[in-house]
Chains A and B, each alone.
Chain A
């Protein structure tokens, strides 16, 4: 693998954060609200990596299937660049989740109080994987307003997982969610071995 010659300007270190949650909960909206670029879309082809996940038998004519992910970027000084990825909403794309979660600093699980159970798979996934995450309740107009403690209880979250209200359309709100996430990841960081 070629590396960057030392006479080249140093490249920033990419840092990956994920925005997960159920269908239509506002993942792409939040990515767009905080990104410095228009949210972009990238696609992964389903290949043999997904065999066992996606049964394509009987549909031989359909040669490929793609799964789309929206993402945005936030430059952080000269040394780091943040990439925000909205996870594909369908859980059958776990192999894409695995790729996205690898090396991720943390994840936001977006929740909608009208369909709270939609975020269970995301919560389970990041708990199992040990990825630091926070739960952000997107305040849709007309949605029932719950006490954050009630949401926490309904999700049976450990007490140290931050839960906060947000408006995925607003940059200030998304910014607060991301700051809470990075602070949480910091507090959960492994202790350095002496």
Chain B
């Protein structure tokens, strides 16, 4: 199968198990929404699963929902649910759940163009 078009059906519902059956995150986070850890778990917290801890570890530097999902090999929807838990418990902060660039900001266009030219 061409990876460009990869579509497959899964009979295993492991992602739902990880999110304890929840499919809708309270925080509707975009794929490019950046999360960063603001508190490290002591290991004694109740209710944090290994996946929660893995996200906090990954987010020592700001990381997008898409990158977290890819790194943990979890569907983006599951990561949204887990990030919602971590937001509630104060382990991570999310800069902007629905980031949208300011299309009027000339500085943004200049910075992006400069960055691309430097590639």
Contact = CB atoms under 8 A, between A and B. Distances in A.
Interface of A: 1-5, 8, 11-16, 23-24, 27-28, 34, 40-45, 47, 59, 61-71, 73-77, 79-83, 85-86, 88-90, 99-100, 102-103, 105, 171, 175, 178-179, 182-183, 185-186, 189-190, 192
Contacts of B99: 13-14, 16, 103
B4 A77 contact: no
A83 to B, nearest CB: 5
Contacts of A179: 113, 116-117
> Sorted from nearest, which 4 A-B pairs have the closest CB atoms?
A76-B115, A40-B70, A103-B100, A14-B32
Contacts of B4: 23-24, 27-28, 70, 86, 89
Contacts of A12: 34, 62
Given A43-B69, A63-B11, A175 B116 contact: yes
A11 B36 contact: yes
A183 B34 contact: no
A182 B75 contact: no
B104 interface: yes
Nearest to A92: B7
Nearest to B68: A42
| Best-surrounded residue of A3, A4, A70, A74 (most CB of chain B within 10 A) | A4
Contacts of A67: 7
B23 interface: yes
B46 interface: no
Given A23-B5, A66-B75, A185 B103 contact: yes
Given A11-B36, A13-B101, A34 B111 contact: no
A155 B76 CA distance: 34
A15 B7 contact: no
A75 to B, nearest CB: 7
B112 interface: yes
Given A40-B70, A45-B23, A82-B116, 15 more contacts: A14-B32, A40-B66, A42-B69, A44-B75, A45-B75, A59-B9, A65-B10, A80-B108, A82-B112, A100-B31, A103-B32, A175-B116, A179-B117, A185-B109, A190-B103
A77 B115 contact: yes
B36 A8 contact: yes
B7 A4 contact: no
Contacts of B47: none
A43 B75 contact: yes
B94 A1 contact: yes
B118 to A, nearest CB: 8
Contacts of A34: 119
Nearest to B95: A11
A102 B30 contact: yes
